[in-house]
Structures are given as structure tokens and as C-alpha cells.
Chains A and B, each alone.
Chain A
Amino acid sequence: MVLIKHIGRYVLETLGTTGQLVIFFARAISHCFRPPYFYRLILKQVIDIGYYSLPVVGLTTLFSGMVLALQSYNGFTRFSSESAVATVVALSITRELGPVLAGLMVTGRVGSSIAAELGSMKVSDQVDALKILGTNPFDYLIAPRIIACIVCLPILVLIGDIVGVFGGFLVGVYKLNFNPAIYLYQTVSYLEPIDIASGLIKASIFGLLLGIMGCFHGYNCSRGAQGVGLATTNAVVSGCILILIFNYLVTELFFSS
């Protein structure tokens, strides 16, 4: 009996949170398309979210590209098809690793800081103060962050793609002794626009997801000492999980047929 009660409460709570999230999502998106726009805040967020994430994304994709080259070379020598290394590196980086790794890393860096910032504003009544001073927090706090996430992630991923392929190139040429010209040729010749485009579209979706999760958990942060910490953790965990789930769904959409 007690067990049923617990399960019942858990199910109800989960449904409740999901409902809240859906409503929050709809409102956040509608405020992204509706004035007033706070251009200065959007610019500030673009710098915070995009520019300052460059090192993290660059390092991640650089080393992933390098490892990928090593690993695939190692594997492909067994079928004596070493020539596929460049192509495999380029395809995996642009289609999968670039967007997913950048999405996860940026969630760790930005999703958490959005949640912490909004959470502490909520707890210290700054969100209420905004309302009193005639400003909708969705316009002033949430829309700029979400717009910045959606815009910045594809740019970060594009740069990450280039850096990652370059990492593969470095290993290929200097360690595995590929001819640089042939390596580049093999990189480019099998790469199609859809590979890069699908990665960038994924990146936008991931940006939206991580922005929404950061804002949702920060904005609904509970009072008390653990409130902000909990909001941060939840933002990162839920952001990462959603990114991985949507990664599958979007891939299916693009490449299943």
C-alpha cells in the first residue's frame, strides 16, 4: 500500500514537472519571437556563451579528431584500408562528434552557469524586482540566453569541425605519415554538404535544449541553501540526457531513408 502511494506520488510529480516544462518551453520560445528585444543583453550573452566557450570546444574536438585518426588507422590496417582514415575522421567529426561533444561540453559550462545565475537571482528576489519594475523576466533574462544558445552552438560546432579535422590531419601527416595533399583530398572528396548541415542543425537544437534546461531549472529554483546547487546539477544532467536522446532522433530523421 505504501509502495503504491510512493509510486503514485512519483508518477504525479514527474507528470507535473513535465507539464511545467512544456509550458515553460512554449512561453520561452514565444518570448524569443516577440518584442521587446534587449539587444545589448543578447550581445553580452553571445560573448559569454559563444566566445568564451571557444577554448573548451576547440580543445575537445582537437583531441577527439586526433584520437579518431589514431584509432581508425589502427583498425583499418587490419583490412588494409588505411586510405579511409581521412574520410572516417571527417564524417564522424562533422556528423556526430562535433555537435555532440560541443553540446555536452557547453552544457557543462553554460547550462550550469545559466541555472546558477538565474537561480541566485530568483532566491535573492531580483526576479521579483524585475517584475515590479515593469519588465518581464522572460524578455529580459530568458529570451536573450536562449537566442544566444541557438545562434552560438552552430558557430562553435563549425569551428569545432574544422579544428577536429585539423587534429586528424596532424596525426595523419606527422605520426602516420600520410601525404598531406592526399589526406586533404580524401577528407574533402567524400564529404557532402548534408554532413555538415545536419551537424549544424543538430547544434542549434542542442543549443535550444541546453538553454531551456538551464533557464528552466534556474528560474524554478527552490529557496534555501541547496536550491541553487540542485538547480545547477539538474540543468546539466537533464541537458546532457536530452541532447543524447535528441541526437538519436535527429540522426534518424536525417539519415534513415
Chain B
Amino acid sequence: MIAEPEVEIHPQKIIDRNKRKEDKFNFIKAILLDIFLVFYSLIVLQRAIYFKFILDLRELPFSWNEIGIIYLISVVTGILWTSTKTSLSCKLFGIAKDNKITKWTVEIFSWFLFNITFIAGWIVTKFSIVDIFSSEGIQGAQRIFGALFQPEMGIFDDALFAIIETIYIALLATLISIPPTLLLSFFTARNLMRDNKIAFTVYYVLRIILNFIRSIEPLIWAIIFSVWVGIGPYAGMIALLVHTIASNAKLYSEAIENIEEGPIEAISATGANKIQIVWYAVVPQILLPFLSFTIYRWDINVRMATIIGLVGGGGIGTMLMQYQGLARWHEVGLIVLMIAFVVWVMDYISARIREAIY
């Protein structure tokens, strides 16, 4: 008889090992974050506050050497600072020493970061009270608002067609998105994908790709696709479709991550396989949230389709852009009113349907 191999590691050792590994990992994360924070502070101090605010330069001088030097300084300071275990990042990752110095550095540095960010934001947006209240500006605004309330009804039927086109673009994008979104959402739900390495890798890679796609605005997608497939409703539809898939896959997979674990446990305890578990324990729990997200997304897509039209995605947005380019504000007025009406109706309908579902 062959002796059975014993897998006996002392449990306390496992606990200690995990703790050490985690601490090391947190330390590296803290160093990276500290370097970034110092770098950020120095850059903002130099470029926004010193050059722009104090020297009031029009053209900011730029040289890679300078930035390289600032970066080097940040790396050295960051590493030294993290090693003292009193930095903000150490506190964030839970490896800081628990003493007065930590408390003070964390408080002062957070306050400092908040302030320079706020000031830099102020400077970058060129915040100016003067512009808002200049008489020239106010006159322009008056002209447009005046026109908006005297809409030109002559283009009503054209605008109606255009807005119907917009609604259909949104509807089609939403409908076509459903099957791929469903499929993707299962592969990007953490609780379904964590039990083995391959599954987790797939989960991770898909998440990154989807995050990337989602981080690009539908407007940019529309520009890309209008070059790719030509300006018009088709480009607008594909742009919306891509973005809808990426963002709904996230919502769906979050719904999957939030389901009750109990039924999953119960079904897997019967010896069911992965597909059976998903079908019986996961699907019934997510059907309604999915439906509700999809309807809500249609509503959002109508609004987005309008915006996308501005860059040549077809529909009412394209029409709006044309009249706006000609400065025909009365026609623009009609179009804006129609958009507002449709958006309001869609919002209302989708809210009602979602209420009825639950």
C-alpha cells in the first residue's frame, strides 16, 4: 500500500505568510502612490500656481528635462517618505505607524492636496466673473433665449422625421446590445469567475477592455465610426451600441455580483455543474434588474443619440447642428423644444415601466 501524502502546513504559518505578503504588497502600492502624490503636487505648484498665477505667463514653458528632474525628486522623496511609515499612502493602505507625526502629516498633506487642486482647477477653467456679467454676453444670450420661445414651425415635419430617426437609432442600439451584453456580463461577474485561474484571467482581461471602451465617450465613438462607415445614422447607431454594451455589461455584472449567494450554494451542493448553477440560481435573480437597466438605457440612448447627431451621427442632432451653424435661432428653438419634449416623455415612460416591473 502506498502511503497517502499528507498536506500538513501549520495553520499559524499560513496566517503569518499571508500577512507578510499583504504587507509587502501594500508597501509597494504605498510607495507608488506617494511618488505620484508628490509628483502631482510639484507639477501643480510649478505650472499652475507659479507660472500661471504668480508670473502670469501666457505661454507655459515646457521641457522634458524639467519634468524629468521633478519626477526624480518625487521618486526619491516618495520612497523616503513611505519608508518613514508616516505618509498619507501608508495611512490609506493601513501600514502606517500609529503616532502623532502620522496624524499631522496626513492631515496637513490632505488639506494641501485639496487646496492646490481647487486652485489649479480655478486657474485652468479660466474662471471669470467678468465674462458672465459682460453686457455683450448677456445680449447674445437674450437673443438666443428670445428665439427659442418663438420657434419657427415651418420645419416641424422635417424635425419630426429627424427625431423619429433619433429614437430608432437609440432603440436599435439598445436592442442589438442585449445578447452580447448578457454574455459578457457573466464573464465579468467576479463571483462566477473567481474559482480558477483561467476564469479569473478572462474576467480580468474582459474588465480592462470594457473599462477602456466605456471610458471613451459615445461622442468620440461616433467620430471614429463616422470616419469608418461614413457620416449618418448608421455610424451613430454603432457608436451607441459599442458604448451601451460596455456600460450595461458593467451594470449587469454588478447585478450578478449582488445576488443572494444562498441559492448558488444550494444548487452547487446538489452536484450541479457550472451552467446549471447559472441557469437555476443566477438567471432567475437577475432577469428583472436586467430588464430595468435595458429600458433605462434606451432612455439614456435617446439623449445620447441627440448629442451624437451633432458630430454627424444622424437624426435630430445633425439637424440642430446645421441650423445652429446658420445661426437660424428660431429653427434651433423649435428643435430644442422638440428634443426637450421627447426626452421628458421617454424619461417618464421608462420610469413608469421600471416601476411596474418591480
Interaction A to B: no
Q: Identify the A interface with B (CB < 8 A).
A: none
List the interface of chain B (C-beta within 8 A of A).
none
